[in-house]
A and B are shown apart, each in its own frame.
Chain A
Amino acid sequence: MAAGEELTLSSHIQHHLVNAKMCTVDGSVAFNKACAEAGFWTWNIDTLAYSIILGVLFLWVFRNAAKKATTGVPGKLQCFVEMIVGFVADNVKDTYHGKSKLIAPLALTIFVWVFLMNLMDLVPVDFLPSFAAFVGENAMAVEPGHVYMKFVPTTDINLAAGLALGVFLLMIGYSIRIKGVLGFIKELTLHPFNTKNVPLQIALIPFNLLLETIALFAKPFSLALRLFGNLYAGEMIFILIGAVGLAQLPLHFPWAVFHILVITLQAFVFMMLTIVYLSMASSDNH
């Protein structure tokens, strides 16, 4: 039965790594395996739901603190929120020297939102999926094996890529707003090889364009893949640990403790790099 057990284990892990999907097939809503052929227009409803719930939670808490914000002695919630806001504001002030009302709130949103989504990683891997399977089986008559749930949104490349795409669009937007279309094109074509010799410069333009374009696209790619890769790997380890029965107890704890660092660090790195990229996009000197 060794082969069978292995199969069960690998299918268990496989099962944990599949998103709950929703799509429309022939004009009607379909879920999960029925969406295998739906292509791009498939929605990972678990990622969307958890990320939006966490985002709303973040904004709700911070909005409450902001509404009650007093210039006098702050309450405990306000202290906590102001600590985070102050931390983000300091980082933005140190790194971004332009004048923009968007950068700081953007950084705050990224930091707290990504942190909360990463934090979901600390929820034991079977809690929420088992609950979902229970509900699916009893309330919707779905086979437990056909209920999928990935409850850490940052382990979904779509979320990481969505954030990175947003940052990328802002980078382009800031580049054009600060330097103009021409300035942006110049930045892409006249660097890093720059010479006063006009024919040589013209000859160098294709190389420059190639290099600069790669450099430009590498930023959002690295941003998305770093977050996704770290969290996906972490989640994978949690799933593996969760699959080894009682032996998981001494294993799970150190990994979870270590993972607290990863969770915070990845949120911070994503925020910091966003600020740095936007700072680079809005500074004239290359």
Chain B
Amino acid sequence: MNLNATLLGELIAFAVFVLFCMKFVWPPLMNAIEARQKKIADGLAASDRAERDLALAQDKAKDQLKDAKAQAAEIIEQAKKREAKMIDEAVHKANAERETILAQATAEVAAERNRLREELRKQVAALAVAGAERILQRSIDEAAHSDILDKLVQELN
């Protein structure tokens, strides 16, 4: 149990072990542990970020979908409006054309009637004159009785 040189031997062995541990054992182990801790921390942070990004992307997609729906509705609305307008225009145009054609036809008919009436009147006048001429051939002096004849013609008018 006496203290002897073993003490010095153990002291030296202790110092050598500690130095070896300090140089070759502790640093690589600690580096590995710390590097892994950092890796795990980074991984967790990345997963958090990805989750946030996913939520953002989902929001964005929802917004875009809403926009697209609204746009589609607008386009359909516009198309309907345009359709109604086109039909309206076509109806108007057709009506106008009908009016024009009708008016033209009426005018033509009226003109024809007037012309025919004029012709008829002239023919009636001529016939009347011819009839009267025949009746009155002997008694009536054409020159002397032209005023009566004119009056007659006027009455026929």
A contact set with B: CB distance below 8 Å: 19, 21, 39-44, 47-48, 51-52, 55, 58-59, 62-63, 65-67, 69-72, 74, 78, 81-82, 85-86, 89, 101-102, 104-106, 108-109, 113, 156-159, 161-163, 165-166
Q: Which residue of A lies closest to B1 (CB)?
A: A157
**Complex contact A66–B28 (CB within 8 A):** yes
**Complex contact B35–A82 (CB within 8 A):** no
Q: 20 A-B contacts, Cβ less than 8 Å apart?
A: A40-B5, A43-B4, A47-B10, A48-B9, A62-B21, A63-B25, A66-B32, A67-B28, A69-B28, A69-B29, A71-B39, A74-B36, A82-B32, A85-B33, A89-B30, A101-B22, A109-B17, A158-B6, A162-B6, A163-B14
Cα A81 to Cα B36 in complex, Å, equals: 15
- Give B58 Cβ to nearest chain A Cβ, in Å: 33
Given contacts A162-B13, A165-B7, 6 further A-B contacts (CB under 8 A): A21-B4, A58-B17, A62-B21, A81-B29, A102-B22, A159-B6
B contact set with A: CB distance below 8 Å: 1, 3-11, 13-15, 17-18, 20-22, 24-26, 28-33, 35-36, 39
Cα A81 to Cα B28 in complex, Å, equals: 12
Q: Which residue of B lies closest to A104 (CB)?
A: B26
Cα A71 to Cα B35 in complex, Å, equals: 6
**Complex contact A48–B6 (CB within 8 A):** yes
Contact of B3 among A52, A104, A161, A163 (CB under 8 A): A161
**Complex contact A162–B7 (CB within 8 A):** yes
Cα A21 to Cα B1 in complex, Å, equals: 11
Residues of A within 8 A of B3 (CB): 40, 157-158, 161
User: With A40-B5, A66-B29, A162-B6 given, is the CB distance from A51 to B13 under 8 Å?
Assistant: yes
**Complex contact B5–A108 (CB within 8 A):** no
**Complex contact B11–A47 (CB within 8 A):** no
| Most B-side CB within 10 Å, residue of A70, A104, A109, A166 | A109
Residues of B within 8 A of A58 (CB): 17
Contact of A109 among B6, B9, B21 (CB under 8 A): B21
User: With A63-B25, A163-B10, A165-B7 given, is the CB distance from A82 to B1 under 8 Å?
Assistant: no
**Complex contact A43–B22 (CB within 8 A):** no
